[in-house]
Amino acid sequence: MGRTLRSRLEVSGIYLIVLVMFAVILYPLLWAVSISLNPGSTLFSAKLIPDNLTLGHYRWLFADPLSQYGLWYKNTLIVASFNALISVSLVSILAFVFSRFRFAGRKHSIYTFLLLQMFPVLMGMVAIYLLLNLVNLLDTFTGLILIYSIGGLPMNVFLVKGYLDTIPRDLDESATMDGAGHLTVFFRILMPLARPILAVVALFTFMAPFMDFLTPRIILRSPEKYTLALGLYNFINDKFSNNFTIFAAGTILIAVPIATVFLLLQRFLISGLADGATKG
Q: 34-52: per-residue pLDDT in tens? A: 888 888 766 665 566 767 7
CB-CB contact of 205 with 124 (8 Å): no
Other Cβ atoms within 10 Å of 160 Cβ, number? 24
User: CA dihedral defined by 44, 45, 48, 52, rounded to 10 degrees?
Assistant: -160
Confidence band for 280, pLDDT divided at 50, 70 and 90: very low
pLDDT(170) > 90: no
Where exactly are the structural domains of the chain?
2-54, 64-279
Q: How far apart are CA 34 and CA 244, in angstroms?
A: 11
Q: How far apart are CA 122 and CA 114, in angstroms?
A: 17
Confidence band for 271, pLDDT divided at 50, 70 and 90: low
CB-CB contact of 156 with 205 (8 Å): yes
Q: How far apart are CA 140 and CA 82, in angstroms?
A: 13
Q: What is the mean pLDDT of residues 186-201?
A: 89
CATH assignment of 64-279? 1.10.3720.10
Other Cβ atoms within 10 Å of 137 Cβ, number? 17
Q: What is the mean pLDDT of residues 134-158?
A: 91
Give helix 195-211 / helix 153-165 axis angle, nearest 10°: 160
CB-CB contact of 154 with 114 (8 Å): yes
Q: What's the pTM value of the predicted model, to 2 decimals?
A: 0.84
Q: What is the mean pLDDT of the chain?
A: 84
Q: How far apart are CA 251 and CA 134, in angstroms?
A: 34
The residue with greater pLDDT, 55 or 269, is 55
Q: What is the mean pLDDT of residues 180-187?
A: 87
